[in-house]
Amino acid sequence: MAQNETMSLFDFIDENEVICGVDEAGRGPLAGPVTAAAVILDPRRPIEGLRDSKKLSETQRDALAIEIKEKALAWSIAECSEQEIDDLNILQATMLAMRRAVEGLKITPSLALIDGNRCPVMPVRSEAIVKGDDKVPAISAASILAKTARDHLLAKLHEQYPQYALDQHKGYPTALHLARLKEFGVSPIHRKSYGPVKALLKESI
């Protein structure tokens, strides 16, 4: 959706709409689940500093995540596992995680604003907004919750699989992760449908 289309979207949103923002984290990594979050902000309790989670420091994200959970009318975090990613493909797994996040809200929204150019199939009316995580506060909040939730999960997975240094790259295909993957092989938390992992599995046959 182009920027002018985004503006026209907000022109016709009714002030009585119950809007949730939705975003995901972790499509690119070779390990761990993909996470998604949905947030319904409370206009009476504004939160300063909301923006795309990638443009915030870890300290800023963690502080904002606490504030979002305290002040939002409703929030929900969901995920799709590595197995689901391999079974469905990452796009469909991401859509499923987003749908789960929306369905997990304690308040049913009338409109879901989705970061990106695709919307998951779900009962709630939805609109996709390209770069919405830097345009729409509710999507920014969802971006922050999805990112912090996944980062904290990867920190726990690092305790189980320290040899992959997941605390340093969160499972992204960095040079370090690829080197560790080659040295120690594929673990249960790796996405076996992803190219580098699939190639290693073929070599081991």
Q: Are 34 and 100 in contact (CB under 8 A)?
A: no
pLDDT of residue 14: 66
Pick the CATH number of 3-159 from 3.90.1150.10, 3.40.50.720, 1.20.1090.10, 3.30.420.10: 3.30.420.10
Would the annotation count 133 as a binding residue?
A: no
**pTM recorded for the entire structure:** 0.92
Does an H or E element contain 141, and which? helix 137-160
Strand partners for 114: 22, 128
Which residues of the chain register pLDDT less than 50? 1-9, 12
Would the annotation count 52 as a binding residue?
A: no
pLDDT of residue 12: 46
Would the annotation count 87 as a binding residue?
A: no
pLDDT of residue 203: 84
175 SS3 class: helix
50 SS3 class: coil
Strand partners for 27: none
